Amino acid sequence: MGKTMKTLGAVLALMVVWIGCSDSPTEYVAEEFTVSQIARQPGYAWFLQEKDSYQPDPALVAQIQAKLGTLDSCYLFVNPSCSCNGTQKHFPHFVRCMELAGFSSSKIAIISMRTASTKHAHMARFHVQRLPTFFLVLSGGGTRTIEPPDDPNARIEELIVQALNGQ
C-alpha cells in the first residue's frame, strides 16, 4: 500500500509539472485605454508632458472645431516603446489638438500595440499597416486614416484638417 501511494504521488506530481509547463506561449493582444488612463500605463510616462506642452496652430484648431459635427470618434493605434516622432510627438499632439477643439476625450480610444500586426478588438473594422495610425470615424459611418510621418516638423493639426476635409 505504501509503495502504491508513493508511486501514485509521483505520477500526480509529474502530471502537475507537465500540465504547468506548456509550450504554447500566451498570445499578446492589444490593450485599449482612454485618454485619462494612458499616462498611468507602463511606457507612457512621457505622454502628459508632451501633450500639455504642445501649442498647435490656433487657426487649424478652429478648422478642426468647425468640423467636429462630422466626427463621431477616434481610434489611435500606438506603440509605447517606439521613440519615433509619430508616437512620441504626433500621438500626444493629436490628443491636444482634439481637446483644444472641444472634442470629448471620452470619444478617443487609444489602442496600445507592440507591432502593427498585434491582434486587437477592432480588427474587423480597422486594418493597421504601421504604427502609429489614427482612425477618425465620421458620423455617417465613413472613416478617415492618418498615418503620421516620422518628421518632427510635420504638424498633426494640418493632417487632421486634411483628413476631416477628405483629402
pLDDT digits (tens, 9 = 90+) for 106-139: 999 999 998 999 999 999 999 999 999 999 999 9
Binned at pLDDT 50, 70 and 90, residue 21 comes out as very low
- Residue 135, φ and ψ in degrees, nearest 5: -110, 125
Angle, helices 156-164/91-101, rounded to nearest 10 degrees = 60
Say which residue, 106 or 21, is predicted with more confidence: 106
Q: Report how far Cα 36 is from the mean position of its chain's Cα atoms.
A: 13
**Predicted local confidence at residue 70, as pLDDT:** 94
Can you tell me the mean pLDDT for 31-56?
A: 91
Q: What is the pLDDT of residues 50-72, one digit of tens each?
A: 999 999 999 999 999 999 999 99
Pairwise CA distance, residues 117 & 128, whole Å: 7
User: Where do the domains of the chain lie?
Assistant: 31-164
Residue 34 neighbours by CB under 8 Å, 6+ apart: 105, 106, 108, 109, 110
**Predicted local confidence at residue 42, as pLDDT:** 84
Residue recorded with cell 483629402:
167
**Predicted local confidence at residue 10, as pLDDT:** 46
Residue 81 pLDDT more than 80? no
**Predicted local confidence at residue 59, as pLDDT:** 98
Residue 83 pLDDT more than 50? yes
Long-range CB contacts for residues 157-163, cutoff 8 Å, separation at least 24? 157/56, 157/57, 157/60, 157/61, 157/64, 157/93, 157/97, 158/57, 158/60, 159/90, 160/60, 160/64, 160/94, 160/97, 160/98, 160/136, 161/60, 161/63, 161/64, 161/67, 163/136
Domain covering 31-164 in this structure, CATH number:
3.40.30.10
